[in-house]
Structure 1
Amino acid sequence: MNALQPLFNAITVIFIAVTMFAAGLATTLPTLRAVFTDLPLLLLALLANLVVVPLLGWAIAALFVLPTAGFVALVLVASSPGGPFGAKLSMVQKGDVVAGTAMQVLLAAVASLTFGPMSSGILTTAEVGGGISLDVAALVRTVAILQLVPFAVGLVVRHCARPTALSWHPVAGVVSNVTFMMVLAGMLLGSWRDVVALLGSRTLLAGFLLSVVAFAVGTLLATGPPTRRTTMGGIAAVRNVGPPLAAVGIAFGDEQAVLGALAAVLTSGLAAALPIAAVLGRGRDGGTA
């Protein structure tokens, strides 16, 4: 993995940047304005994703007495809302796709600034591995540049040249999906011994439980009809892999044990959230486009 580390890092950067660029291409100012002006929904979603779920991640990691790598991975994932797959879950469950996509983008943008302080604060307070702490300034700067700048560029293109944005978006979406699979595969292959060691472990179970509980919290702390509430649940259940990967690179030197635990937590979380969305979708004729 060491020889391929520069390639893995480059693909990770491409994945994060292209994902947020694609989100900007698909987002209109009216949809963002609708989320910003719905204060009850906005405040509850921010509370659920930026405060409650990170604290739940900490509680679950402590409850399961996870090893250092698993503890760090779970806290990093829990502190990073706005995963792009959350918008896809809203489609799977035939939910409120417009509100879900807008909230996912908003959470990813806000979390680029809050992820560092939140995850660092939890890890420092928990004194994991002797008191791990993150370089918050470097992390905020890196994540903000990788997420906010590409999203802003995509948003400007959508606002100023809609036909161009519509033609570019499918390509950007494909690149995002392909690079996500490459990043996940790289994490699994590069840390396969650590991942195999985690099979049947508490780390996988903790990641699964975090996703289920986050789905419930996101649904409960939302307003509107059931389709919108469960859509917010799906958004909360799927976390953003970009900031945790940046944190592992900055603070842990791409340590394989942490990468392996991160891959395990992410995959077990998706394994929990996807069936819930599929079951919800079976009972609905259609969603809000």
Structure 2
Amino acid sequence: MTVDRLINILAAITLIEMMVTIGLGVIWSDVLRVASNWSLVARAMLANYILVPAAAVGLLLLFHANPMVAAGFLVAAVCPGAPYGPPLTAIAKGNVPASVGLMVILAGSSAIIAPLLLQFLLPLVAGDAPLKISVVKMVGTLLGAQLLPLCVGLLLRHRHPTLADRLRGPAGVLSTSLNLLMLAVILFAQFRVLAEIRLISYVGMLSLLTATMVAGALVSRQTSDEQKGLVITTSVRNVGVSLVIVTSSFPGTAAITSATIYALFQTIVMVVIAVVWGRLTPPGIVAVKMKAA
């Protein structure tokens, strides 16, 4: 088995297990409450599927990124719904139930929307390179590896909450272990490329991360708890989904490297931001209930 094939299989298994784990920990009423708030959902969709991808395309063209490198960053930009959005929102003392609901909605919808966006946006950053994905194949892959496992976890939580609580801990440990293993394999396989990353690349990643935060802030209302939830949920892109796409569509290329390094970069920076944001929040202003948006 080649390293590229191993990475592809690991990415798929990790995504499936991660989505089941997400479903096991989600209270269905939180999802329904957010889903019924059309204003909040519409604004989150605007930020995650229009503003962030548009900013990513603009920055990639501005920095004249290599086509394969650009593909990796663009894939990350069109894949919202990261599972660590709610924990970071909790650290920042934001609206956790709203963040949970948005995470589920965005993670589920990206199985269809992300491949469609890539179909139209990849040619804009490809230059003369033949960057293409099979939309039908990718939608099918994500429906099976992302949406279906999420629904299984949600159903198990809804029908058998006690069993879901017992499984949630071990599932979380397994999810973390699989993510670390996958990142370790990618870093090992792409070490030479990673060692050659220049300072300008980090400037570009910081610019993209800043753009995602601005997008979340632009669509949020002025209430502090909602703003934190939307900014953080929009800023952390779904690593599992993006790696499944790049490993299956662009195996053995710099697209995998750029998607991986951005995943590590955004995680480190957003953890720091969440901690600082939480400490700057006055005591007593910790919102955990959903507010009207």
**Aligned length, in residue pairs:** 286
Indicate conservation of the 8 Å contact 1:123/1:131, yes or no: no
Q: Which moved more, 1:156-165 or 1:274-283?
A: 274-283
Tell me, yes or no, if structure 1 residue 277 matches structure 2 residue 264. no
Corresponding residue for residue 245 of structure 1: 243
Per-residue CA deviation, residues 238-278 of structure 1 (Å, 9 max, x unaligned), is: 101233222223322x1242211222222222233222211
Separation in 2, partners of 1:73, 1:3 = 21
Structure-1 separation of matches of 2:252 and 2:119: 17
Sequence identity, in percent? 23
CA contact (8 A) 1:83 1:240 kept: yes
1:80 aligns with 2:79: yes
CA contact (8 A) 1:41 1:223 kept: no
Report the RMSD for the aligned CA atoms in angstroms: 1.8
Hey, what does 2:169 align to over in structure 1? 170
Aligned 8 A contact 2:32 2:101 in 1: no
Query: Bigger CA drift: 232-241 or 210-219?
Result: 210-219
- Residue 144 of structure 2 corresponds to 145
Per-residue deviation, 1:224: 6.3
CA apart distance, 1:234: 0.5
1:149 is displaced (CA, Å) by 0.7
**Which residue number in structure 2 is paired with residue 211 of structure 1?**
209
Query: How much does 1:6 deviate?
Result: 3.9
Match in the other structure for 1:39: 38
The residue type equivalent to 1:288 in the other structure is V
In structure 1, what is the equivalent of residue 48 of structure 2?
A: 49
Task: Give the unaligned 5+ runs of structure 2.
Answer: none
SS at structure 1 position matched to 2:141: helix
Q: Report Cα offsets for 1:129-154 as digits up to 9, x if no partner.
A: 43412111111110111011111111
Alignment-mate amino acid for residue 150 of structure 1: P
Among 253, 258, 262, the residue aligned to 1:261: 258
Normalising by structure 1, report the TM-score: 0.93
Unaligned residue ranges in structure 1 (runs of 5+): none
Q: Which moved more, 1:243-252 or 1:69-78?
A: 243-252
Amino acid at match of 1:170: G
Return the alpha-carbon distance in structure 2 between the equivalents of residues 93 and 128 of structure 1. Answer: 40
TM-score by length of 2: 0.91
Using the TM superposition, give the Cα deviation of residue 110 of structure 1 relative to its aligned residue in structure 2, in angstroms: 0.3
Counterpart secondary structure, 2:147? helix
CA contact (8 A) 1:79 1:119 kept: yes
Return the alpha-carbon distance in structure 2 between the equivalents of residues 101 and 219 of structure 1: 18
Moved more, 277-286 or 17-26: 277-286
Contact map agreement 1:49 1:81 (CA 8 A) in 2:
yes
2:288 counterpart of 1:288: yes
Deviation sequence 1:11-34 (CA, Å, 0-9, x none): 222210111111111122211111
Instruction: Please say if 1:20 is aligned against 2:19.
Output: yes
Deviations 1:45-78 (A, max 9, x none): 0110011101111111111111122211111111
Which residue matches 1:232?
A: 230
| Partner SS state of residue 198, structure 1 | coil
Asked if the contact 1:157/1:165 (under 8 Å) is kept, the reply is: yes
Q: Once the two structures are superposed, what CA deviation does each residue of 1:144-195 show, in whole Å capped at 9, x if it has no partner?
A: 1101111111111111111001111111111112211222222211101111
